[in-house]
């Protein structure tokens, strides 16, 4: 490879790692009064990254890249795509977007205080105008939403996504109706008093069993759990702990641990190259959902781990495996996405995706967004939204200007189910291994088939290579059917 | 000020803050396997900093700076000096120095393993050649050591420094002889068992009493204590704790806290400018030494804090104030600089400075360095070096290529004593306030007279403005005489 190109690619990856460090620190250890200074530091770093990326010399080096291997070809492809998208956005629009995002965030916070969507609406409308302009500059074949989706899920198209989500919705709505019949058992964790250090130790025990390498990563505390870091040898998970209920921290550890294993699993030769990243948010999410939901809500996992949980929390000593499983697989339509169970969760995503597509297309105006939201909640979840805090104002993402990101959560669930199906078939005896606490068989297979490839292939192409087919809702639906038939 | 200049200065300060973050993280939370990746990230960041600093456009902007105030004039002066030094060093030499440093570090570690200075000597000799070349490129008036000193103590000259250090030595040697007569009391802290969390809490109590703002800074753990951070609103102290003895952590908290107050105390209007830094390492050290030694080994301080220390550590309950003071003011010549008491400490610095000046001048060869070291230890401390680990191989600084840095430790002690003398006179009743635990009077006076000025003036000029005179050993010697006359 052209040595200038290699050096610049490494430099960009280092800068991106430093953005990761400054962001992680902002959410974990940054002193309260330093947030303005940190925003300035991050702004400087991101501006430098942008400047080095759009540098015309990088364009020339990419044109005469002389890749010496398939991996180098992939590096050139990934960096070229990133650069071409960046080059198309004039700095005028970058600045206007930053300002509009900042305004929308302030308006969203104010709207939540006043419990009033109309307080947020004008700022969202202004942001939408700019995001549409950005989508047109990025370019598309008539479906503007494609250009936005591409930022999070390269290669995915609206025309391919919507039918799958539509089929998913059509199957989930009746499934949920049948799973929610009957009386709800009382909550297991009403009593509280779950020692925070014991929770921390249990999450570390799970992460170690998963094979998360604490010599190439960490766990820390933050208000919202996330996975960050600076390099495949420096992967940083965060979590939060409440004495009321240990389950959120446990499932967050499984979720972020799944992301973390992906990052730690990149081929070592990808260090400081464009291949040392997941090809899409959806594929990244497939790894977190696989561990959180498919493994983490399953009977085999808890066959091993429930006794260990009970050893740490004596107040759970009388709880049977059946009772515990009924708790972690409770299906119940609710208003808030981030608190939703694994079955209803996807309807929250379908709802947002349908609204986003219509907003971007212009067939839905921001003025009508709240009513459209509430109608869809009624149609999909049979719930009546009483407060916008439980409805259209619940997520911060639109105030950040994120359009095209929500669907990656559903893609993650669908990809996870398809990958899991092959894993079960190829590995054999997975349930038995998990019931013995041997999570390593899952990790090793995922590392070999998914993680180590990084960004060698686009997400759906990788899934197709692993499973023999592309995006489908079938494996996800059948996985749920099998689990809930066995449980109920 | 020229707006291009302002933006570039802010960018440089942000990058420098990010170097601070990446370095702090490296010593506190970085996973074990990530050290190579971090070295690459820091290399990229520092290369970018250098590139933006030597950028010819910055030179032009500085030439047409149009400063609108005295502070802006000072900003232009500081940034111009930094840039001119950077421009003079070709990237060939920068790379050669980095390589020679890396070789010297490896050789130093190997030499320590083999307890053999000759294993280190060739690498040190190679580094010295390059540092001499660098000094000549930076420029000097015949005294090459001046150019090296300038990197740490801008404005200080060898011809001004050596006589003061010589006078200091001449007074310290007899003073030490008189202070070390008589039997040494048994160590207070032989028993160990000092709870680490209680030590942490006590250091936080002291830092809070000093006025260190934990909303604009933190304390964390590292192998060697240091003060770092990213901005005056984000100042990060580190410390280390041993169950054997709580004193090292306590005095480190006072020391790093003194550095931290300086950083937190810069005028808020200096944010993201070249003035938001201390004018020299010596002046920075004056603030740490003032708290560690002048305040922290004094009777007034411990009148308040000894009962509080005893409340945390019951094993100290029978210790009288006199007995405790005799422990923290014990004077005893020893081999290791970092373990030396406040009186003998400066002789360790004089020794290193004399050797450095001769090495740089060429009147001492690296081949003769170990013998010269051992002779000076005998002459100044009346000790016979048996192992180079207790002698010439004890410090890492020369392996880093640091020449001109050691004297700033002595400058810190001398400046601290001169500043303290004025503080005592102007504030009045300081001893009584300290004995009531009111450290705020000291902090506020220092903030007003020293900290808030940042890099407005060079170090000695600032000291002169505060005290009416420049560098002198008088206040330091008289301060010691007063303290030890009262104690003995």
Residue-wise pLDDT for A422-463, tens only, equals: 999 999 999 999 999 999 999 999 999 999 999 999 999 999
The values of phi and psi at residue B83, to 5°, are -65, -40
Regions in chain B scoring below 50 on pLDDT: none
Q: Are B185 and B326 in contact (CB under 8 A)?
A: yes
What is the residue whose two structure tokens read 């000076």? B376
Candidate list A150, A153, A256, A342, residue with the active-site label: A256
pLDDT in tens, A109-124: 999 999 999 999 999 9
Q: How far is B386 from chain A (nearest CA, A)?
A: 39
Q: Is B33 on the interface with A (CB under 8 A)?
A: yes
Chain A positions touching B48 (Cβ under 8 A) are 11, 48
Distance from CA of A100 to the nearest CA of B (A): 22
Does residue A44 sit at the B interface (CB-CB below 8 Å)? yes
Please judge whether B40 and A14 are an interchain contact, meaning their C-beta atoms are less than 8 angstroms apart. yes
A149-176 burial by CB neighbour count: b if 16+ within 10 A, else e?
bbbbbbebbbeebbebbeebbebbbebb
- Of A44, A216, A234, Cβ closest to residue B14: A44
Task: Tell the residue number behind the tokens 């490879």, with chain if given.
Answer: A1
What global pTM score does this model have?
0.95
* B11 contacts chain A (CB < 8 A): yes
Find how far residue A417's CA is from the centre of its chain. Answer: 15
| CB contact B216 to A (< 8 Å) | yes
Q: How far apart are CA A301 and CA A479, in angstroms?
A: 16
Residues of A (96-135) whose Cβ lies below 8 Å from B: none
Judging contacts by C-beta atoms under 8 Å, the chain B residues touching residue A214 are 31
CB contact under 8 Å between B31 and A230, yes or no, is no
Report the C-alpha gap between A133 and A89 in whole angstroms: 9
Which residues lie across from B227 on neighbouring strands? B237
Coil/strand/helix, residue A472: coil
Spell out which residues of chain A touch residue B17, defining contact as CB-CB under 8 Å.
37, 41
Tokens standing for residue A171: 């199957």
The pLDDT value recorded for residue B192 is: 84
Tens of pLDDT, residues A317-346: 999 999 999 999 999 999 999 999 999 999
Spell out where B227-316 has E strands.
Answer: 227-231, 234-239
Q: Look at A234 and B34 and tell me if their CB atoms are within 8 Å.
A: yes
Among B7, B10, B14, the residue to mutate for chain A (most A Cβ within 10 A):
B14
Q: Taking CB atoms and an 8 Å limit, are B234 and A22 in contact across chains?
A: no
The answer to whether residue A48 neighbours chain B at the CB level (below 8 Å) is yes
- Give the DSSP H or E segment for A231: strand A227-231
Cβ–Cβ contact A91 with B under 8 A:
no
pLDDT band at A210 (very low <50, low <70, confident <90, very high): very high
- Determine whether the interchain pair B31/A272 forms a contact, defined as Cβ–Cβ distance below 8 Å: no
Rounded Cα distance between B488 and B469, Å, is: 31
Min CA distance, B446 vs chain A (Å)? 22
**Which tokens in the block code for residue A7?**
């050096």
Half-sphere exposure of B41 (CA within 13 A, CB side): 33
pLDDT tens figures, A388-411: 999 999 999 999 999 999 999 999
Interface check for B39 against chain A (CB to CB < 8 A): the answer is no
Q: Does A217 touch chain B (CB under 8 A)?
A: yes
Contact (Cβ atoms closer than 8 angstroms) between residue B2 and residue B65: yes
- Closest CB to A18 among B30, B32, B45: B45
Give the A window 251-310 contacts with B, CB below 8 Å: 271-272
Closest in A45, A216, A220 to B18, CB measured? A45
User: Chain A closest CA to B50's CA: distance in Å?
Assistant: 14
Q: Answer whether A31 sits within 8 Å of B233, measured CB to CB.
A: yes
Yes or no, beta carbons of B234 and A34 under 8 Å apart: yes
Interface test with B, best of A6, A10, A24, A40 (most B CBs within 10 A): A40
From B31's Cα to the closest Cα of chain A, the distance in A is: 5
Q: Give residue A449's pLDDT.
A: 98
The pLDDT value recorded for residue B182 is 72
Quote the pLDDT of residue B27.
Answer: 94
B196-210 and B247-264 are packed helices; what angle lies between their axes, rounded to 10 degrees? 30
Q: How far is A343 from chain B (nearest CA, A)?
A: 37
CA dihedral A59, A65, A67, A70 (to 10 degrees): 20
The chain A residue lying nearest B32, using CA atoms, is A215
Q: Is B214 on the interface with A (CB under 8 A)?
A: yes
Closest residue on chain A to B232 (Cα): A34
What confidence score (pLDDT) does residue A191 get? 75
Residue A227 β-bridge partners: A237
Rounded to whole angstroms, the Cα distance separating B301 from B433 reads: 9
pLDDT at B29: 97
Interface size between A and B, measured as CB pairs under 8 A: 119
Mutate to test the interface with A, among B41, B43, B52, B268 (most CBs of A within 10 A): B41
How many angstroms separate the CA atoms of B307 and B330, rounded?
Answer: 20
Which residue in A22, A40, A217 is closest to B31 by CB distance?
A217
The helix/strand/coil state of A341 is: coil
**Do B272 and A37 count as a contact with CB atoms less than 8 A apart?**
yes
Interface contact A215, partner B, CB < 8 A: yes
ipTM > 0.90? yes
Q: What is the pLDDT of residue A421?
A: 98
Q: Do A38 and B230 touch (CB under 8 A)?
A: yes
Contact A41 B217 (CB under 8 A): no
CA R_g for chain B: 23
Strand-pairing partners, residue B239, are: B221
* Residues of B involved in catalysis: 256
- Nearest neighbour of A218 by CB, restricted to B21, B29, B216: B29
Q: Could you please report the per-residue DSSP string of B80-96? A: HHHHHHHHTS-HHHHHH
For residue B81, the number of C-alpha atoms closer than 13 Å in the C-beta half-sphere is: 17
A37/B17 Cβ within 8 A? yes
Grouping H, G, I as helix, E, B as strand and the rest as coil, residue A234 is strand
Q: Which pLDDT belongs to residue B184?
A: 73
Q: Which residue of B has its CA nearest to A41?
A: B14
pLDDT of residue B118: 98
Instruction: Say what percent of chain A tops pLDDT 90.
Output: 96
B218 shares contact with chain A (CB less than 8 Å): yes
For residue A231, list its beta bridge partners.
A234
pLDDT in tens, A166-198: 999 999 999 999 998 777 777 777 778 999 999
Dmax (CA) for chain A in angstroms is 68
Spell out which residues of chain A touch residue B25, defining contact as CB-CB under 8 Å: 21, 25
With CA atoms as reference, report the closest residue to A257 among A294, A290, A303, A231: A290
* Closest chain B C-alpha to A17 CA, distance in angstroms: 7
- The answer to whether the CB atoms of A25 and B25 lie below 8 A apart is yes
Q: For position B486, what pLDDT does the model report?
A: 84
Interchain CB distance below 8 Å, A31 and B218: yes
Does the CB of B334 have a partner CB in chain A at under 8 Å? no
State whether residue B197 sits within 8 Å of chain A by CB: no
Q: Above 90 in pLDDT, residue A295?
A: yes
CB–CB of B41 and A216 under 8 A?
Answer: no
Residues of B in contact with A17 (CB under 8 A): 37, 41
Residues 6 or more apart whose Cβ sits within 8 Å of residue A362: none
B43 CB neighbour count, 10 Å cutoff? 14
The Cα B2–Cα A470 span in angstroms is: 57
> How would you classify the pairing of strands A234-239 and A217-221?
parallel
């Amino acid at each position: 490879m052209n040595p200038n190109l290699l050096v610049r690619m490494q430099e960009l990856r280092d800068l991106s790692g430093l953005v990761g460090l400054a962001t992680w620190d902002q959410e974990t250890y940054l002193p309260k009064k330093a947030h303005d200074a940190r925003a300035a530091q991050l702004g400087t770093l991101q501006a430098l990254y942008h400047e080095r990326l759009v540098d015309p010399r990088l364009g020339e080096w990419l044109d005469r890249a002389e890749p010496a291997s398939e991996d180098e070809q992939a590096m050139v492809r990934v960096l070229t795509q990133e650069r071409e998208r960046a080059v198309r956005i004039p700095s005028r629009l970058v600045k206007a977007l930053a300002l509009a995002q900042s305004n929308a965030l302030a308006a969203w916070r104010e709207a939540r205080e006043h419990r009033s969507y109309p307080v947020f609406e004008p700022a969202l409308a202004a942001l939408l105008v700019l995001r549409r302009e950005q989508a047109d500059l990025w370019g598309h074949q008539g479906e503007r939403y494609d250009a936005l989706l591409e930022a999070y899920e390269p290669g995915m198209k609206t025309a391919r996504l919507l039918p799958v989500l539509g089929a998913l919705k059509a199957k989930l709505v009746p499934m949920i109706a049948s799973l929610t019949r009957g009386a709800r058992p009382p909550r297991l964790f009403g009593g509280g008093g779950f020692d925070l250090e014991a929770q921390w130790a249990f999450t570390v025990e799970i992460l170690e069993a998963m094979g998360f390498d604490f010599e190439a990563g960490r766990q820390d505390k933050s208000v919202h759990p996330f996975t960050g870091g600076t390099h495949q040898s420096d992967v940083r998970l965060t979590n939060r702990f409440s004495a009321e209920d240990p389950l959120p921290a446990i499932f967050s550890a499984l979720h972020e641990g799944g992301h973390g294993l992906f990052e730690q699993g990149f081929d070592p030769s990808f260090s400081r190259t464009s291949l040392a990243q997941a090809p899409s948010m959806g594929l990244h999410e497939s790894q977190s959902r696989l561990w959180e939901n498919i493994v983490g809500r399953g009977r085999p996992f808890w066959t091993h781990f429930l006794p260990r949980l009970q050893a740490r929390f004596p107040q759970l000593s009388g709880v049977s495996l059946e009772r515990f499983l009924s708790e972690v697989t409770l299906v119940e339509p609710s208003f808030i996405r981030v608190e939703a169970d694994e079955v209803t969760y996807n309807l929250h995503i379908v709802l947002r995706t349908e609204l986003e597509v219509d907003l971007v297309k212009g067939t839905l105006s921001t003025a009508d967004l709240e009513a459209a939201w509430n109608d869809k909640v009624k149609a999909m979840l049979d719930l009546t939204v009483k407060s916008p805090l439980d409805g259209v104002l619940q997520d911060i993402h639109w105030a950040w200007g994120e359009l095209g990101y929500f669907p990656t959560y559903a893609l993650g669930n669908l990809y996870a189910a398809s990958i899991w199906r092959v894993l079960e078939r190829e590995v054999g005896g997975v349930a038995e291994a998990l019931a013995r606490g041997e999570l390593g068989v899952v990790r090793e297979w995922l590392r070999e088939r998914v993680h180590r490839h990084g960004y060698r292939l686009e997400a759906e192409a990788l899934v197709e290579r692993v499973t023999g087919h592309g995006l489908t809702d079938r494996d996800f639906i059948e996985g749920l059917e099998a689990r809930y038939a066995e449980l109920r």
